[in-house]
Structure formats: C-alpha cells, structure tokens
Structure 1
C-alpha cells in the first residue's frame, strides 16, 4: 500500500472556529437537554452555557486577555467542566492540574507555564506556592452570579492556544505541550464520524484531567449534544464502581485505558452491554480485545501522542487476531521511517512520524527538544512540521499501521543494539502468554540482563519451570538472534500501570537472581577485614571477644551502635556502607566479606529487607526522625515466621544522593521502591513518628494509583506535626497557648514518671537553647562532618517537608499504635489528631513504653503481637 493512499485524509474543516463554539452550537440546538451529570446533580446545556459565560466575564473583569494562561486545580465535578469552558471563552488557555498529583509537580507547571491565575477551590486554598493570583471557584461562582449570561467577545481564533498539558520528561521535569483550537476541532469533527457519536449518546468521563485523553472524554459529547456523566476520582479508580455506572445509567460510550478495562472485567463483567468502547493510552492485547468484543457493541483502538492532539490513528477492532492501530484521522499523515529518514512502505520496522493539522506548537520553553522532536516535514507540504513519536511501527500490506512500542526501549546489551518491542511482539505470539514487557536491567553494574515480565493465561506467578522457559526461548530463537533472547523470565499477576493506565516500567520488580548461602559454622578471624570488623565491634559494643558467626542483633546491637560502627569502618577503610547493610551482613564474617566486595555495587536503596522471607502480606515501615530502620529489627523478629518486614530508610544517608524536602516527593520515592519490589500488592504501610506522616502520603498516592492498601498504621505519630497555612499572628498565638498548656501539664507527667520527665524536659530545654545559640552565633558552631553532617541535612529537610505539608482527608482507616507513657502535652491524646483525616476511622492500640522505647525489649514482643493480629485481620477484609 503506497503512503499516498494511506495519507489521503484531507478534509475541509472550520480552521478559524474555536473549540467552545462546538459546545455553543450544541447549547443552541439542545438547550433543555442534560449536558453534565455528576452523581444526582444535572445541568442542562443552557445552564452550563450560562454558568460558563458568567465565569468567563468574571475572568475578563479580573484582567484576563486573549493568550493568557490560567492554571486549574479542581476536583472532578460539574464545576471543573464549566471552568474549562469559561477559561476558553475568556480567551485564555488552561493548564489542567490534577490536585492528586504531587504538590511540587503542580507548582513547577504553574511556574513553567507562566500562569497568570490559578483557579482552585477552598479545599486547596493557599496549598500551592506559586507566583500566581489564586481565585477560588466558590468565589467566582458567587461574584459572577449577577453578570449577564452572555459570552465575552474575546476574539479567539483557531490558531490560539486551547491548553498546555504537561507530560513526563526524560530529564525528570515535565514538559508542556501546546495545543491550539483548530487542531482539537479537527480531531473532534473526525471522531464524530469515526468512531462516531450522536446527541442520543451518554458518555462517562473517567480520565484524569492531566491526561490528554480527558479532552475526548469531555468535549466530544458536548460537541454533539450528548450527555456527559462525570465520575469522581475515587470512582474512576474503582472498576466495580465504573461498571455499576455503565450498567445503571445506560452509558453508551466509554473511553478507558486497557488497565481500566481489565479492572472492570476482573470484578465480574460478563454480560453484553450496548456500549461503544474506546481503548487507548497503551497497547491493546489480543486477549483483552477478545473479551471486549464479546461484551459490547463496538471496540475502537486509538493511538496517538499528546504532541499530535490526543489520537492520530484509529481502528475498529472486530477480530481479536487482527489488532492494529488502523488508519489516520482526518488531515493527518503517518510515515514509517528508518534512521536515514527513508519512507518505509514495504512493511519494514521503523519510527512512526506524524504530520498534519494535529501537530502541536511544540513544547513550551524547550527549543532544543523542539528542534529534535518537531522536524521540518520532508515528505509533503500538508504541514510544515512533522512529529517524531519515538514509537516503533510498520505498515501492513493493506496499509494499516501496527505500533510495536517505544523506540527508546531500544537498549544495548553486550554490545548489541536491541529493540525491546520486537522481543515483546514475538513473545506475545505464544499461546500461553497474555501480556509481556521486556526491559534491560543492570542490577549489577556492568552486567546488563534482558528480563521478560509476563502474565500467563493460567494465572501462574513467580518463576517459570525449566520446560516453560526453554519453550519460550526456543520460540524466540526461531525468530530472533540469540542475543535478543531474555536471560530471565518473571511471572506477574498483572503488569504494573501508572495512574494514567500506562505500563509502569519503573515498577517492574527486581528478579530473584538467587542467594548465596554461607556456612554458620564458627571460624576465628583470619583475614585483615575480619580482624578489623571484630576489633571495631568489640570496641563499640564493649565486648571482649566476638566470634565470626555472632549476630549483631543477637549481641544487642542497636541503631546508635551501628552508626558508630559504620563511621569507624569508613574512617579505617574509606568505604561508606549503609546501616542497613547489617540486615544482610549481620555477622563479622559476612560484613568482612562485604568489605572485600566491589564498592561500586553497594546498594543505597530506600527499601531495606529486614525480614524478607515469608508467605504473608509484607509490612513496609517508614523511618522516624532517626532516619534509619535498624530499630525495627527487634519488632520484625518477634512477628510470625511467615511475616515479611521491610524498612524504608531516608534518601541521602549515603552522603551522596540529594535529600528530599517535599513530603510528596519523599513519599513518591518510597512508593516507587515498594511497587518496584511488589507491583501487585496488597500493601500494608506503617510509619514511626515522622514516618507516619510520610506513610500517610504514601497510602494516599498508592490509592490514587489504584493499589490495594489493606492497612495504614501509625506508630505513635501525632497528626499535628504539620503546620497548616495560617497567618503568622494566629500561628504565634496558637503556639503560645500550646506552650502554656505544655507547661501546665508538666506536673501530671512528673507524678506519672518523675525521672523520665526530668530527663525529657532537660533535654528539650537544652535542645532549644542550642537552637537559639546556633542562630545567634553561627560562626561559633562547629561544622559537622561525615555521617553526622549528612544526617543533619536530611533531618533539616525532613522538618521542612513537615512544615510545608498539608494533610487532606483520605478515604482510609488508620491503625494507631499509641505509646502508653506520655512524654509531652498533646491537644488530642485519644486519636493523636488523626480523626479528621482518616475518613474510615481510627482504631487505637495501646502499646507499652513511651515514644522512644516502644521498639525496645520487652516492649517489642507485645507490640509485635498486637501488630501481627492487625495485619492478619487486614488481609481478611
């Protein structure tokens, strides 16, 4: 099939018409028809248009002009849709900001886009530190109510921006894609024909506003007079809730990622529904296509990057054995090219390039990246620029486009350049394999390995047997050279996904490469490192003689001693080891062997295996202010033999990595490591002291990812450790009043435990005096070095993260393990301040000891018993 036939897509369309005019036309044709439904609330097209027009006038009165940028951070609601329309009608472009995204990411988007205004709600008032004027939607609705319901004359043209949408960037910073009105109008008018929609349809919107496919969710139904049902963020993540809405509200069109479709299938969707399915955002697997075809009227596979306006290629899938991405939409051209930019029309594999009116204006403030990705069109003059997608593809003989995955999944292993998409495609042809992802891992520096992650039709997980693996490898050898055959195969319940429903390659777990088993027999020191370690242990632990197989923890080793040991080892050898090294190298012999090893392979991962073996649901515990996780060892060892326990230690304790100072980033770092270790779950997360705040944010993020968080536990964490944004005067008054109550409560503490109270108060007074001294005489303060220096930096940044973090309620239950002994006054002794934030309630468990001794013997045994009971109950829920 010649490319000229493939790309014969030229169609007239209204180039000067702004997007909102399509909605206006629907409002004129169907004024009394329901436009938006959110739970039991409905708005007609006339009501929606009037509200949007009034807010648009309100924005103009606030100084908004054509071409300005407005950020919008609103929860999913009817007001969110109205605000989007109002921003466009005011002449501005919007930056869609999902409030569930990390705070620092949203603040970057606001700064990078130069947003003039941020529209948000009272729920998030003052939450984002940005150089923008904040307008609350509640105020905008109230103040605009008296304005006439007419649209302002902003002079919007088809070439003006409609939105700047931020996508992940390879540098770690999001990049803003600029989409104009005429590109989106062309896309919608093409979609009205194929896949097709009419005013009689009822659609359900589930995509996050920060995902470009949300544009189709919202504007396609509103462009034809159809009814738009908006799901809130919790419903959108719940396959059962989505399926219930489809069934009960007569949804006729639903767009979702393959991940969401699988969620719906897993909760019992068996019957045929009179619905048209749009699936996009990720590759459509054959088994999923077969199930969807059986259960709905039509299945449409859609493909396209954000940079070319949502979707560029579509396919009506009627046969699960014939899954492609199909043909380009109106006024769009597709090319498959080799490295020399030759147009491949003979079925060879190459990079997919997209041209046409959907090509965006490029990335905001990224000229170098624009020059690389948006190149001059070498093939025709239909569009001056053509976008390099970075996706691999090929043309079938009938001209349909096949997408084979990312070209940047091209890796180099043992000197060979390998296209991972080719391996995935060939493995996907095997009858017993359902889904497949192949990546190159370099868990040991200098030794990359190809690893295939599979889900099987029979549900098997873990590792394949030798016969299975040989069969797959032989099948690959029949199609691919030997160097493209994976070294390792990992069987998963499901392939991990991002909140947008795309494959999350970062969350794929490290394979179990096997463990070296060493002898437990006694041996005397015989190497230089064994003598060094034994002498250091003896000195720091006050012991006369230590055997090579003596266990650090069984000898009574604790965190402070471990710090001294590792500092002394660094002093003597120049080698810096994580404190968590002691979990896996807990004898003199093993630690000495570790010192003999290559220092380049030392792992400073946050996730630390404290007690990794066992069949029960693992428990992940976040460090407290002490930053390391050694103190959790005794607790873990007193739990069931089958109970795995992992710790999360602070980033930066190696003195190399930059510590984090934003709570959302700290939590995201830990969540990434947990999901990388176990992509399926379910999960139990706990935190001690400061770690409780981090664990709370982690649970919030994991729920937003659709993860099953069975238990969130607080180990004596007080919720009022965070500073809510209040005026300085009010904060000062509150602090003074709290100090008065603390002083008044001291006699009560003294009666309960005189010795402990005197020790604690003396230490607190000394700490405050030292803090004042440092501020007054910074030049006289001795600069810390080594471990003390970088742990001090982490502690300061953690405190900053606490101060700037704002708790918001989460639909979760908290298991609160509360120390029986009180060491200071709290406003809420009962639930430690957590009641407003745990919407499913707080269950309190009193454990022996005070805040700093709950993990110490003999308290650890009783603590472990209560904690184990909670974990076992959580699994059954």
Structure 2
C-alpha cells in the first residue's frame, strides 16, 4: 500500500456526511413505500401472507384504536406479544400514534418486564389474551384481540398525528451494571439514518427476502422488522421456537428462498452444527459479538456475502460495517452514513496512527441518552469536541480499538467486564449483584468462559457463608439458578458454579479474573446412584452427550439442563442422533425427554408419532404449620437461615424481604401497604392458613399489622412473635413542642444508660455505639448527597432508599390494641435504652397478654452461633404449643 492510499484511507474515515430526510418520522417513509407498491407481499408468517397495503392499513387502524386511550406524541407504550404479523403491525402502529415503544419479550422474567414498564412510565401495555393480567403495572392493558375486533370501526387512512424526526421512536432496555436495566432512548431520525444507510450497504432491495429471527428486546431486530418495509423487500418472520432451531432455520431459508439474514455468531454456529453444507444465495449479516475466526471461511463457503456488523445499542444498532472476504482480514470496517468513529485516550486525544484507545462514536446515530439516568448519560454521552454542530455528543463504547493504515477499525474487546454471550450484551456485575442476594452467598464473581470453542458459558465463582456438603452441591446450584431465573433472563444465568475459599486478586488489589480456575465440567454432583446405559440407544445417546458436553460420565437419569446443556449443544446432539439413526427429532424433544433414558426411549417410538418476590422459601418443606419471619431494618432474611436449619426437620420457614431490594420495585412507605403486600404473597401460596407470623426488630411492627389485617379478613393467626422488637409509639401527630421535649428527655435517659453499659462491658459498648454512629453518619451523607438517585452501586445500593421508606412508614404508623397474644423473644443482653425492659412496650397492645421468652445474645447477635441453636429450640417449643391450641 503506497503513502497516498494510507493517507486517503484515514482522511476518508469520518467523511460520511449524506443527505437524508432527517425531519421525517420512520413510519412516514414506510407509508410512502406502501402507497407506491400496495399489492406486493410485505410480510410472511407461517401460512399467512400480508401485502404492504394490508400491513399499512392494519397499522393505521390499530394506531387509531390506541389513540382512543388519550395517547400523545412522546408517550410510551409497552409491547408484549409473541412473534407474529400482529407484533410487526403493532410496532408500526405505535410509531404512527406519535408514541415510542418499549419492546418487551414475554419470555423475560415478570419482575424485569414490570420494571421496564414502570421505569418508562408506559401509559399502555399492548399485549394479547395469552398474557392478560400477567404483568402488573399502572399502564392501561390493551389486548390485541380486542383491538382487531374493533377494526371495522376505523377508517384505513393515516391517523392525524404530528411526529417528526426529533421525536422518540423507542426505548430499549439493556443490562445494567448495578443490577438495574437502563433504557436507551432512540429518536426517529437516529433510526431513519441507520436504515437508509443499511439499505445501501450491506444493501437491501425489493427483490430480497429477509428472514427475521431476533427477539424485539434486542436492538438489532429494528433492522430486520423495519428495513424490508422501508425498501420493499419481503419480510419473513419466524416464531420463537424456530428462531432457536438451526435445522428449522435452514429449512425455512430453503422454503422461503431467503436472500438476507441477520444473526449473532451463536445462531450461525447453531445452523452449521445442524448440518448446513450447501451454498445458499444468502447475504449474511453477523454481529452482536466478535466474529469468531473459525466461522468465517465456513460461512463464506455457504453464502454469497458475509458482513461483519458492529455497534452498541446507544448508537442505534450498527455503526460500522465490513464485507469479510477471508479469515485473515477481520475488522469492523468503517462508519455508516453520518457516523464518526474515534479512537481516544482518557484525555480525548485522537489516535489515528494505530495506537490502541477507547472507541467513541459520534454522529446521527447517537441516542438521546438513558431514560431517568442523568448521571450515567453524562458519563457515557460526552460532548463531541470534533464536531462543529452545537450540542453534538459522542458515545463512549467501553470497547478498545485501533485504526489501521487503510482507515479500517479493529475492535479489540471490552475495557470493562461487560461481555457478549450468545449475542447478548451482559453486564457481569448485574448477575453478581443478584447472585449475592441468593441464599448462602457471601461473595460472587461471574465471568464468561469459552473453554470449548464456540460454546461460551457463564461461570460463577462463589464463596459461601456456610460450608456445603458434596451431596448437597447439586441442590444448592439448582436453587441459585432458580433464584436468578426469577429476576434475570435465561441467557444471564450462569451455566456453572465453582466454590472458592478465596477469590484471587492482582497485586494492585483488583480481582484477578484471569486466575479463576476452569470448572471441572466432568465432575457431576448427582443425587442418587450412577446408572450405566442398558440398551443400544441409551449407549448411543450417552456417548454423544459425553463427547459433545465434555463430561466424562453421565448417568442415564442425569438431566440435560441440570448438566448445563444449552441450545447449541442440543442442536449438536440432535444432529448427531439424526446422523447415527436416521431419525430426526424436534429440538423441543429435549424439554420433555431431558435424560438419556427418556431420550433413548423416544428413539424407540415411530418417528411419525413424534417471571423477585418478597416471600423467600428458606426451608419450605415440612408438615408443620409454616412460620413467616419478616425482615428487620437490615432488610436481610439470610440471617434467619441458621435459625431455620436448627429447627425441627418438619418445620417450614419462610422469610419476607423488603420490596425494592432488587432495585426494580419501588419501596413501600406506608405500613399498611407493606403488610398488605407481604400478606398477598403469603396467601397466594397458603390461602387457608392458619398462620404463624414473626418479625425481627422493625419486622415485628410489620408482622403486627399483618396479623391485624389477616384477623380482619377472617383468617386465623395462631402465633404472632416479636424477635426483640420494641413497640415504638408514633409521635408523628403530637404537637411539635411536645415532640421536642420528649426527644430531649429520651436523649438524657439514653446517655445515662450508656454509662451503665460502659461500666458493665466497656469494650462491647464502645464497639456497638461506634457502629450506630457510623450508620447514622452514612445515612446523613446519603440523604444530603447530590444525585443520590443516580449513584446506586453495589449490593446494598437500595438499602438506604428502603430504610428511608421504612422509617417513614414507622413514623406514621399508630399501633392500636389487638385481640391477640404476643410471643416476645427478648434478647438477654441490652445494648440500648428502653422505657420498658420487661415487655418492650407491648403490654397495652396485646389484649391476650405478652409471653416473654428470653434468648441469649444481644439485639444484633440473637441469630449468630451459638445463640441460634438455643433460639431455635425455644422458638420450636413455642410454635408446637400454639399450633395445638
């Protein structure tokens, strides 16, 4: 390459200015094309086929129906539909109303979807009869079936709305590093610029057939669903099951004569493993994670073109493209239209000489920012110092890169710990934060490993609070996975767990992720005896599983999914079985036949016949009356675990943790509402009772209100227990002078009692008072901290917010007498002043009396060993006694 070519390549890198209709909304351009080619087939789904006229007019009618719900330009509408023509029509209809859509995959955990609805303040949830009432939100639920039934009431012409290129088109939530997803705001002009550039390169024409396989919650779906409608190409939509089945995708490519398909490397690998050998007239768009070198030549040999696509959600899907010709020239190419890419250091110096730096992206694809995350927006979207346009921003990608002499960009991976697994962008910290909330987890580090090429796996390295016997490891791992599945999508749940004594660190004190050991994939912790294959088919299936899963010895009763099996290896297994037996089983067979024994038996048959809850099950099994324990001010129910484990084997124990710990739900600040929320979860699992309630510290007050509400509802409360809870009387309604006087008297008594404690145990008293003072200082600084709502980081990110809500609830709650007995479990050692040391203030409120049970320890140590064992015995005796009454 001569000097002129090198210089020219660099100088032209960001010379990408192109005119486009920046002021127009996307649906205006789609409508223009529909009017020009009304009778051409626009969309195909299974046996259904719709023309451009069909799609456009249906979207117009649906938009008019949505407008009857007082939708205005700039509003947000959530969309939760299965993959279908109605899903595509709904997206277009929402745009036509002037609203922006939030794509919600119905397969995602319920709590996560509900957070997206709440965070986006969506006015409407457009869903189907299938999901009616499934998601809880303040949004008005609109069923697509009801809307379709009313289509005859609306004309097919365009709705009378004003939408421009500066209005929002969608808000798409991505994984967040603090355990909380963040919404990226994309405007119409961002999307229009992107799509028109894609139409030119890699290119899409009216003669193309594009196969859409991506969930709408993944931003790349925007290309698949809108680009054909914009260019006149035919859009073929798959259902969710087909999209995950490599063989079904191959069949669909052949049957529908697919010419363009976009997918992650993972999906392309699934198709290759399914037996794809023939060359297809297929333009491949590959992105979502780094293009593996071993895939390149295989894909080139089987397609007409292979394009490498790169770009974060925050810059509107793809920002650079590259036609890949061989595996020796892998780059992410050059910027698309009206897009600039820079390689910068921490001082924003621009490197064009091949020096490695961070990739920044500017131009018309840069999003408006993160919804409700001002500080994070300011951190990631910085002023574009290279632009002459006032107010221009560029996005810090967090990716390392460099510019080659020919002007092409090489991406060198993440700066931080964000990873791509199966095409999904994952903040490992989000998994870690949620894993720390699981039972018996003291410390957790999660990384992505690819010990078997092409099979990336999330591995969690865990330090536990209490040792786990080898025989119990499998059960513990399943419990963790189940807990994570309740709050995270399936692709974010670790495949493997490794117990550690210590987490390795680097000399500068950071976690040394490279030193984390490879999991022993062949070491299975199974329940029950190993059973070897007994039949020819069992032997065949076992050999295939052992080879493809990398596990030395698999019992015929071992569950495929419990062994860490995922879609990719499932495809490989089914392809191998077909090759060996000639029998082609659906990929979904594994869900019902997940063991070697069951899958082998299936081969013997004729082929022709072939959603974070407050209620935490600490120890859910047992025949006795369950005990429900409400968290204390520390919000942690893990401390009840030792108590539960020391109780009778037949004694079920549940904990109730504060709403909002997951960083998604809003903390409740009214005592009656807190109690009602916990009751609802208990009654949903145990509608008939009777009920045994207990509360630790603050939790005792909550348990008291729960008992009050249950009794009012005609339910039987067999036991109400206070675990060292003082009956604080609310002074919220007292005159200000009286409150001030009472506070002064109380302070004097507390100071006096402190001197008594110092005389009895000076060391422990100083430790305890120092801890209380430290907590108060931290809380004071938190309340005064600017931008505290945007600075939530770490495991205890939401404790202060929940504490503040709980304190408000306590301040405003007035305890009234209740016709019940209270079982008071009182700590033997006192570390703070109380006006009533004997009954902790409960005598006026328990009409049937207060029964005192003294337990060892002080307020903060009654659950700690060896106190927990004594506490458990006293508590169990009390429970057994009241259950018989």
TM-score by length of 2: 0.55
Query: For residues 680-706 of structure 1, what are the alpha-carbon distances to aligned partners after superposition, in whole Å with 9 as ceiling and x for unaligned?
Result: 57999xxxxxxxxxxxxxxxxxx99x9
**What residue in structure 2 maps to residue 260 of structure 1?**
267
**Tell me, what secondary structure is at the counterpart of 1:371?**
helix
Q: Say whether 1:494 aligns with 2:383.
A: no
1:509-658 aligned at under 5 Å gives the runs 577-580=466-469, 632=527, 635-636=528-529, 642-643=553-554
**What residue in structure 1 maps to residue 234 of structure 2?**
227
1:424-443 aligned at under 5 Å gives the runs none
**What residue in structure 1 maps to residue 393 of structure 2?**
385
Pick aligned residue for 1:711 from 594, 600, 614: 594
Change (3 A) 1:578 1:674: farther
Pick aligned residue for 2:644 from 776, 785, 788: 788
Change (3 A) 1:452 1:155: closer
> Structure 1: how far apart are the matches of 2:268 and 2:530?
42
The alpha-carbon deviation at position 144 of structure 1 amounts to 2.6
Q: Say whether 1:241 aligns with 2:274.
A: no
Query: For residues 725-755 of structure 1, what are the alpha-carbon distances to aligned partners after superposition, in whole Å with 9 as ceiling and x for unaligned?
Result: xxxxxxxxxxxxxxxxxxxxxxxxxxxxxxx
Query: For residues 639-659 of structure 1, what are the alpha-carbon distances to aligned partners after superposition, in whole Å with 9 as ceiling and x for unaligned?
Result: 8995569999xxxxxxxxxxx
Change (3 A) 1:638 1:135: same
> Structure 2: how far apart are the matches of 1:159 and 1:20?
13
> Structure 2: how far apart are the matches of 1:409 and 1:65?
40
**What residue in structure 2 maps to residue 483 of structure 1?**
none
Change (3 A) 1:446 1:235: closer
Pick aligned residue for 1:767 from 625, 647, 657: 625
Query: For residues 625-680 of structure 1, what are the alpha-carbon distances to aligned partners after superposition, in whole Å with 9 as ceiling and x for unaligned?
Result: xxxxxxx5xx34788995569999xxxxxxxxxxxxxxxxxxxxx98x96499995
**What residue in structure 1 maps to residue 106 of structure 2?**
99
Structure 2: runs of 5 or more not aligned: 1-5, 421-425, 436-440, 475-498, 505-518, 534-551, 574-586, 598-610, 612-621, 631-638, 658-677, 686-885
Change (3 A) 1:87 1:598: closer
Change (3 A) 1:269 1:302: same
Query: Are the counterparts in 2 of residues 614 and 643 from structure 1 also a CA contact under 8 Å?
Result: no
Say which is worse superposed, 257-266 or 377-386, in terms of deviation.
Answer: 377-386
1:22-33 aligned at under 5 Å gives the runs 22-33=29-40
How large is the Cα RMSD of the aligned pairs? 4.7
> Structure 1: how far apart are the matches of 2:95 and 2:45?
22
> Structure 2: how far apart are the matches of 1:449 and 1:50?
51
Change (3 A) 1:601 1:281: closer
The alpha-carbon deviation at position 368 of structure 1 amounts to 1.1
Pick aligned residue for 1:8 from 11, 15, 24: 15
Change (3 A) 1:292 1:642: closer
**Tell me, what secondary structure is at the counterpart of 1:100?**
coil
Change (3 A) 1:576 1:138: closer
**What residue in structure 1 maps to residue 367 of structure 2?**
360
Query: Are the counterparts in 1 of residues 322 and 334 from structure 2 also a CA contact under 8 Å?
Result: yes
Change (3 A) 1:598 1:709: closer
**What residue in structure 2 maps to residue 404 of structure 1?**
412
Query: Are the counterparts in 2 of residues 619 and 645 from structure 1 also a CA contact under 8 Å?
Result: no
> Structure 1: how far apart are the matches of 2:17 and 2:202?
18
Change (3 A) 1:249 1:11: same
Query: Are the counterparts in 2 of residues 89 and 152 from structure 1 also a CA contact under 8 Å?
Result: yes
> Structure 1: how far apart are the matches of 2:241 and 2:567?
23
**Tell me, what secondary structure is at the counterpart of 2:224?**
helix
The alpha-carbon deviation at position 93 of structure 1 amounts to 0.3
Change (3 A) 1:493 1:510: farther
> Structure 1: how far apart are the matches of 2:68 and 2:195?
31
**What residue in structure 2 maps to residue 78 of structure 1?**
85
**What residue in structure 2 maps to residue 113 of structure 1?**
120
**What residue in structure 1 maps to residue 65 of structure 2?**
58
**Tell me, what secondary structure is at the counterpart of 1:274?**
coil
**What residue in structure 2 maps to residue 849 of structure 1?**
none
The alpha-carbon deviation at position 146 of structure 1 amounts to 2.1
Change (3 A) 1:386 1:98: same
**Tell me, what secondary structure is at the counterpart of 2:150?**
helix
Bigger RCO (CA 8 Å, 6+ sep): 2
Structure 1: runs of 5 or more not aligned: 411-419, 422-436, 455-490, 497-503, 512-574, 586-596, 603-611, 621-631, 649-669, 685-702, 715-721, 723-762, 775-782, 806-877
**What residue in structure 1 maps to residue 600 of structure 2?**
none
1:321-360 aligned at under 5 Å gives the runs 321-360=328-367
**What residue in structure 1 maps to residue 510 of structure 2?**
none
**What residue in structure 2 maps to residue 134 of structure 1?**
141
> Structure 2: how far apart are the matches of 1:25 and 1:53?
13
Query: For residues 782-814 of structure 1, what are the alpha-carbon distances to aligned partners after superposition, in whole Å with 9 as ceiling and x for unaligned?
Result: x97843289966466899879879xxxxxxxxx
Change (3 A) 1:98 1:30: same
Q: Say whether 1:123 aligns with 2:130.
A: yes
> Structure 2: how far apart are the matches of 1:683 and 1:149?
48
Query: Are the counterparts in 2 of residues 95 and 163 from structure 1 also a CA contact under 8 Å?
Result: yes
The alpha-carbon deviation at position 408 of structure 1 amounts to 0.7
**What residue in structure 1 maps to residue 283 of structure 2?**
276
Query: Are the counterparts in 2 of residues 212 and 306 from structure 1 also a CA contact under 8 Å?
Result: yes
**What residue in structure 1 maps to residue 825 of structure 2?**
none
**What residue in structure 2 maps to residue 546 of structure 1?**
none
Change (3 A) 1:709 1:331: farther
Query: For residues 35-91 of structure 1, what are the alpha-carbon distances to aligned partners after superposition, in whole Å with 9 as ceiling and x for unaligned?
Result: 110001001111111110001011111211111100000000000000000000011
> Structure 2: how far apart are the matches of 1:322 and 1:803?
62
> Structure 1: how far apart are the matches of 2:392 and 2:180?
28
**Tell me, what secondary structure is at the counterpart of 1:278?**
strand
Change (3 A) 1:5 1:682: closer
Pick aligned residue for 2:403 from 395, 398, 401: 395
Query: Are the counterparts in 2 of residues 509 and 676 from structure 1 also a CA contact under 8 Å?
Result: no
The alpha-carbon deviation at position 453 of structure 1 amounts to 5.1
Query: Are the counterparts in 2 of residues 374 and 386 from structure 1 also a CA contact under 8 Å?
Result: yes
The alpha-carbon deviation at position 287 of structure 1 amounts to 2.3
Query: For residues 584-617 of structure 1, what are the alpha-carbon distances to aligned partners after superposition, in whole Å with 9 as ceiling and x for unaligned?
Result: 99xxxxxxxxxxx998689xxxxxxxxx99979x
**What residue in structure 1 maps to residue 316 of structure 2?**
309
Query: For residues 804-829 of structure 1, what are the alpha-carbon distances to aligned partners after superposition, in whole Å with 9 as ceiling and x for unaligned?
Result: 79xxxxxxxxxxxxxxxxxxxxxxxx
> Structure 2: how far apart are the matches of 1:56 and 1:614?
52
> Structure 2: how far apart are the matches of 1:407 and 1:209?
27
**What residue in structure 1 maps to residue 160 of structure 2?**
153
**Tell me, what secondary structure is at the counterpart of 1:711?**
coil
1:693-704 aligned at under 5 Å gives the runs none
1:741-820 aligned at under 5 Å gives the runs 767=625, 786-788=642-644, 794=654
The alpha-carbon deviation at position 319 of structure 1 amounts to 2.2
Query: Are the counterparts in 1 of residues 210 and 234 from structure 2 also a CA contact under 8 Å?
Result: yes
Query: Are the counterparts in 2 of residues 509 and 678 from structure 1 also a CA contact under 8 Å?
Result: no
The alpha-carbon deviation at position 291 of structure 1 amounts to 1.2
TM-score by length of 1: 0.55
> Structure 2: how far apart are the matches of 1:578 and 1:102?
30
Query: Are the counterparts in 2 of residues 54 and 148 from structure 1 also a CA contact under 8 Å?
Result: yes
**Tell me, what secondary structure is at the counterpart of 1:155?**
coil
The alpha-carbon deviation at position 272 of structure 1 amounts to 1.1
**What residue in structure 1 maps to residue 738 of structure 2?**
none
The alpha-carbon deviation at position 401 of structure 1 amounts to 0.5
Query: Are the counterparts in 2 of residues 331 and 356 from structure 1 also a CA contact under 8 Å?
Result: yes
**Tell me, what secondary structure is at the counterpart of 2:342?**
strand
The alpha-carbon deviation at position 283 of structure 1 amounts to 1.0
> Structure 1: how far apart are the matches of 2:111 and 2:230?
34
**Tell me, what secondary structure is at the counterpart of 2:70?**
coil
**What residue in structure 2 maps to residue 197 of structure 1?**
204
